[in-house]
Amino acid sequence: MRHRHEFEDWTRPHEGVMPNRAYYIPFAPGQNPVQAMRESSERFVLLNGTWQMQLYDKISAVPEEFCQPEFDASGYPQMPVPSCWQTQGLDQNQYSNVRYPIPFDPPFVPHQNPCGAYRTHFTVDAAMLSQQVYLNFEGVDSFFYVWVNGHRVGYSQVSHSTSEFDVTPYLVEGENLLTVLVMKWSVGTYLECQDKFRMSGIFRDVYLLVRPKQYIRDFGVRTWGRENYTRAVIQVGVEWNGGEGELEWELYDPQGSLVCQGEAATEFTIHLEQPHFWTAETPELYQLLLRTEAEVICQPVGVRDITTKGRQVLLNGKPLRLKGVNRHDSDPVTGFTISYEQALKDLALMKQHNVNAIRSSHYPNAPWFVQMCDRYGFYMIDEADIECHGVTEVFGGGDETTFGLIAQSKEFEPLILDRVQRCIIRDKNSPAVIIWSLGNESGHGPGFEKAGIWGRDYDPTRLMHYEGSWHQTGGHINDTSMFDLYSRMYNEPAFVREWLANPANTKPFLLVEYCHAMGNGPGDLEDYEKLFLEEPGVLGGFVWEWCDHAVDGGVTADGRRKFLYGGDSGEFPHDINFCVDGLVSPDRIPHTGLKELKNVWRPVRARLCDGEIQLRSTLDFAEVSQLAEYRWELQLDGVVVEEGRGELPAIPARGTACMPLPCALPQQPGRVDLRLVYLARTDADFVKAGDELGFDQLTLRQAEKRELVLQSAVLAVEEDDEEIRVSGENFAYVLDRFTGCFKSLVWNGAERLAGPMGFNVWRAPTDNDRKIRRVWEQAGYDRAQVRVADCQVLAEEGTAIRCELVFAASIRQPFLRCTAVWRIGADGTIALKLEGKRDEVFPFLPRFGVRMMLPAGFEQLDYTGYGPQESYLDKKNACWFGHFAGTVSDEYVNYIKPQEHGSHVGCEQMRLHCADAALWAAADQPFSFRASHYPQELLTSTAHNFELKKSDEVELCLDYKNSGIGSNSCGPVLADEYALKESEFRMQIFFGFAPVTAE
């Protein structure tokens, strides 16, 4: 097909495209458009459906006549619209983060540029012919030409924005042909280097709007609170097409009663008394109807204003806190194509997990998605469709040198502005949007400064931010005066505190990304939360990210779902599983990190204060007791002994209130905890009365210091150069002099070890161990050997064996020396006392403890510690101290890339039992354990969950410490307090076997 390389033309990004306007759907005058689905509008003709599409590998291969009605397209395959080629088995899956999949040679793209030739028909009747007909595309990746009945209508780009074409002149009565040629690569590709699978096609809705000759083309709605928010003003400006007309307007309040009405031509102002203000906690919407002779448009109006006061952001005059997530349009089956149902599922899960804000990373969502956020109550950062991260990958370049390559290019300036305008103008009437974002990770330069100035000017009612603006490169002195916020990503809390301590920093701080949720993680949510709760100058943050990205790979023979990530489709370049970094799985199953997040963001937090409970609201607007009540559980040594329900006192937003303890302490000795579980009082959209909103656990009485005692005994001991054999009435144990550990534990006539026991410093690296893993491997922790320098039977008291242990790996010097003393009691109980000295030249240890493999059958598990879900030193906020029972199989946590999972910290005791024996362990200081059918070597070396083979045996790790999780896959290094980096440590743990007792 002949063309003029329009897709490589940076001087004319669009042709034949209507000027930008706010998103709205006109209805026929007789229709009620309030909260109506757009599909029900008589003026809306959805063209989605089964089209035809032929994929060509380059534009020169496309037949010249493909867009003509006479063209024989009978051989063209069917193609659902909207959809992505790659999810339909076409082209290739490719996941790339920072790196451009094409040579960096803007505005040019490779000659081998796959293009999809789409054809469909639609019917036009006589009534339509007498009107204006507009063809809308809400998202096409990345560039497309449009023809109607063979006439060229124009072309457009900016994948995640709406392109509207006036097709009136080309229509005929009866059947009409619409053809679209979608190019995979274009100059726009350079601006769409977002960290995601790179997909192509018409991936959002396509529809016609049938409109009169004279109509409301665009309108803007702005609102402000007045007189201390006892009143409000709504200002509306209207722009006409086909000459100025007259409109009638009506405003309905959130309950549906008419508040006022009037007539206007181009502007009007409404004054409200005692208005209902819109917040994410109270998403009350007025409905504004704009009626012209031939149309009615409904605009939901959230009355709210957003300002800054010093370093605080105020919504309706009150300080605001964002509890946000970054969200991509991503689904393993449908790719970028997201239906209403899929979107609602995300929003429901977010509400159910106390999320109040969404950053539409890194492009605008479908316009109806934004309206869902208005309706269900989410604050949005609406981000322009811009990321040029690949500029840092040019040869010889980097973050410090070439980040501004596009931001500072004259040629790209208008394209940056175009993208910002398409975002802001489209979504300007949405109350949910409180912050505009110019894009992501694109460096800084005049292109963004000009776009920022335009945005400030066009919409002074919202905040403007751009995270990239702190990157100073290419000698350009950054002007950031157009930004209201200082926004950064992944800084550690200490950095933020330091920044805030400097009075020269006058803007509110925003962590536009933090807590990288990849795999088992994030582990630092609560530490950031402390920062947010303590520092009013921080607006909050957006966790990276909402969902794992993966593509559907079908199911295995045994029915396991296969999710594929970077490299699984043979693509280059790719970034492996770096896209599998969400709070929910690709099919929206909450990860433990999301549960953690939910409780960290609970609406109220309790603490003990002078024998009472002090409650602090983390809400900004609503009064907590209106929304929540609670139930309580009184626990004695982790076991619930009494429970009840109660009403919360009134707790004003951000305020505190006290209440007495709901119960008396038990008489019996032991640790006493009170768990308060906050429950929704009433039904809301996605949360039903009685649903849990979060909980607190308050320790009312500490346990007395536990002293484990061993019934010492002088047992039969035999030794030779290799072994030490100890036996008693019902047991016979063999210690291996070369490992310092037992290689056989026979109890009650049966061998209870499936393999030798060993000391253990390794763990299957989590995704968040990605960086430290390399250091660990350099230190040799993954191949550590133990040398037993000395091993002696001690005669002093009872039966004891002392081993001097030296831990080192090939190449390296020893990193750890330990003294282990094993004592064996009359009943076969084993007490292990360990004293370790770590060489501080080495990095922190993944963990330290003993590991044993137990034979098949040890399936039943119970423990007293942090459960019920996996818990780590820095990831236990969804857990509480208690007594839990379950199975080893249920301890498996399904991460797409297998890794360490299922540990429990803060344990006092644990027990595993098979038919005739229980193995128990207890310590006088809290320990961590992990019981699993998936040993750490398997988890370390397997790339996908669906490749894992479950073992019948049980790996049991009893650890002095398992280092925390953190979020270092992108965020800061693990905080010292969670890392096993002490130079000296000691532990004592008891374990042994017992008959199975019925519970």
| Residues within the interface to ligand GAL (CB under 6 A) | 97, 195, 362, 440-441, 489, 513, 544, 578, 581, 970
Query: Cα–chain-centroid distance for residue 415?
Result: 30
Instruction: Please count the helices (runs of H) and the strands (runs of E) in the chain.
Output: 11, 59
| Separation CA 352–CA 692 (nearest Å) | 9
By rule CB under 5 A, what string of x and - marks binding of each residue 771-810 to Mg ion? ----------------------------------------
Under rule CB under 5 A, residue 441 binds Mg ion:
yes
Give the tokens for residue 108.
Answer: 């040019």
Q: List for the chain the helix, strand, coil content (%; round to 5).
A: 15, 40, 45
In the bound state with ligand GAL, the residue whose beta carbon lies nearer, of 618 and 968, is 968
Cα(694)–Cα(677) distance, rounded to whole angstroms? 6
Q: Which is nearer to ligand GAL, 416 or 786 (CB)?
A: 416
Active site residue 263: no
Q: Which residue type does 37 have?
A: M
Q: How far is the CB of 689 from ligand GAL (least distance, A)?
A: 37
Alpha-carbon gap, residue 936 to 582, rounded angstroms: 23
**Partners of residue 547 on adjacent β-strands:** 584
Q: State in angstroms the smallest separation of the CB of 601 from ligand GAL.
A: 21
**Which option in Mg ion, ligand GAL, none does residue 449 bind, with CB closer than 5 to 8 A by kind?**
none
Number of neighbours of residue 612 by Cβ within 10 angstroms: 12
Pick 489 or 786: Cβ nearer ligand GAL: 489
Which residue's CB is nearer to Mg ion, number 441 or number 459?
441
d(Cα 960, Cα 925) in Å, to the nearest integer?
9
- The partner in contact with residue 874, picked from ligand GAL, Mg ion, none with C-beta cut-offs of 5 to 8 angstroms by kind, is none
Whether 513 sits among the annotated catalytic residues: the reply is: yes
CB of residue 249 to Mg ion, shortest distance in Å: 44
**Residue environment code for 667-695, b if the CB has 16+ CB neighbours within 10 A, otherwise e:** eeeebbbbbbbbbbbeeeeebeeeebbbb
The C-alpha atoms of residue 379 and residue 304 are separated, in whole angstroms, by 12
Which among 671, 741, 719 is positioned nearest to 699, based on CA atoms?
671
- The number of beta carbons lying within 10 Å of the beta carbon of residue 49 is 13
d(CA 591, CA 518): 10
CB of 833 to Mg ion, least distance (A): 50
Region from 382-390, 391-399, 548-556, 652-660 binding Mg ion, contact rule CB under 5 A: 382-390
Window 182-211: residues binding Mg ion (CB under 5 A): 195
Long-range contacts of 62-67 (CB under 8 A, 24+ apart): 62/1, 62/115, 62/117, 62/181, 63/1, 64/1, 64/2, 66/1, 66/117, 66/119, 66/179, 66/181, 67/147, 67/150, 67/152, 67/177, 67/179, 67/181
Crossing angle of helices 446-458 and 413-427, in 10° steps, is 30
Bridge partner residues of 991 (DSSP): 830, 921
**Piece of 196-204, 331-339, 386-394, 674-682 that binds Mg ion (CB under 5 A):** 386-394
Q: Select from Mg ion, ligand GAL, none the partner in contact with residue 527, using the beta carbon and a kind-dependent cut-off of 5 to 8 Å.
A: none
Q: Select which of 138, 441, 449, 629 is catalytic.
A: 441
Reference 909, options 897, 917, 918; nearest CA is 918
First to last CA, the chain: 77
With CB cut-offs between 5 and 8 Å by kind, which of ligand GAL, Mg ion, none does residue 970 bind?
A: ligand GAL
Q: With respect to Mg ion, which residue has the nearer C-beta, 441 or 524? A: 441
Separation between Cα atoms, residue 55 and residue 10, nearest integer Å = 25
Stretch in the footprint of Mg ion (CB under 5 A) among 115-123, 416-424, 438-446, 562-570 = 438-446
Q: How far is the CB of 189 from Mg ion (least distance, A)?
A: 14
Report, in Å, the least distance between residue 449 CB and ligand GAL: 20
Output the CA–CA distances (angstroms, integers) from residue 673 to 646, 658, 659, 703, 730, in the order listed: 17, 18, 17, 10, 38
Closer CB to Mg ion, 199 or 830, in the complex: 199
In sequence order, the 6+-apart residues with CB closer than 8 A to the CB of 441 are: 362, 387, 388, 389, 467, 468
962, interface contact from Mg ion, ligand GAL, none, CB < 5-8 Å by kind: none
Report the nearest approach of ligand GAL to the CB of residue 473 (Å): 16
Any idea what DSSP says for residue 213?
Answer: S
Residue 502 C-beta: closest distance to ligand GAL, Å: 24
389, 507, 605, 823: which one contacts Mg ion (CB under 5 A)?
Answer: 389
Residue number with CB closer to ligand GAL (388 or 820): 388
Long-range contacts (CB closer than 8 Å, 24 or more residues apart) made by 31-35: 31/296, 33/289, 33/296, 33/297, 33/298, 34/252, 34/256, 34/287, 34/289, 34/298, 35/287, 35/298, 35/300, 35/375
Counting residues that bind Mg ion (by CB under 5 A) gives 3
Q: What minimum distance in Å lies between the beta carbon of 518 and ligand GAL?
A: 7
Stretch that binds Mg ion, among 21-29, 389-397, 418-426, 504-512 (CB under 5 A): 389-397
According to DSSP, the residues that pair with 180 across neighbouring strands are 118, 146
Tell me which residue has its CB nearest to ligand GAL.
195
Nearer to ligand GAL (CB atom), residue 471 or residue 901? 471
Q: Which residue has the tokens 């047992």?
A: 715
**What would the DSSP string read from start to end of 412-461?**
THHHHHHHHHHHHHHHTT-SSEEEEE--BS---SHHHHHHHHHHHHH-TT
Minimum gap (Å) between residue 822 Cβ and Mg ion: 52
284 binds, among ligand GAL, Mg ion, none (CB under 5 to 8 A by kind): none
When CB distances are held under 5 to 8 angstroms depending on the partner's kind, the choice from Mg ion, ligand GAL, none that residue 352 binds is: none
Question: Smallest gap, in angstroms, from Cβ of residue 98 to Mg ion?
Answer: 5
Catalytic option among 8, 513, 633, 953: 513
Give yes or no for residue 545 binding Mg ion (CB under 5 A).
no
Check: CB of residue 335 under 8 Å from CB of residue 203. Answer: yes
Q: By Cβ distance, which residue is nearest to Mg ion?
A: 389
Q: How far is the CB of 738 from ligand GAL (least distance, A)?
A: 44
From the list ligand GAL, Mg ion, none, partner contacted by residue 581 (C-beta under 5 to 8 A by kind): ligand GAL
Q: Which does 311 bind (CB under 5 to 8 A by kind): ligand GAL, Mg ion, none?
A: none
Question: Which among ligand GAL, Mg ion, none contacts residue 529 (Cβ within 5 to 8 A by kind)?
Answer: none
Residue whose CB is less far from ligand GAL, 289 or 325: 325
Q: Which does 747 bind (CB under 5 to 8 A by kind): ligand GAL, Mg ion, none?
A: none
Distance from C-alpha of 30 to C-alpha of 259, rounded to nearest angstrom:
21
Nearer to ligand GAL, 362 or 913 (CB): 362
Q: Which is nearer to ligand GAL, 518 or 786 (CB)?
A: 518
The Cβ of residue 29 has, within 10 Å, a number of other Cβ atoms equal to 12
383 binds Mg ion (CB under 5 A): no
Nearer CB in complex with ligand GAL: 192/513: 513
List interacting residues with Mg ion (CB under 5 A).
Answer: 195, 389, 441
Residues carrying an active site annotation: 441, 513
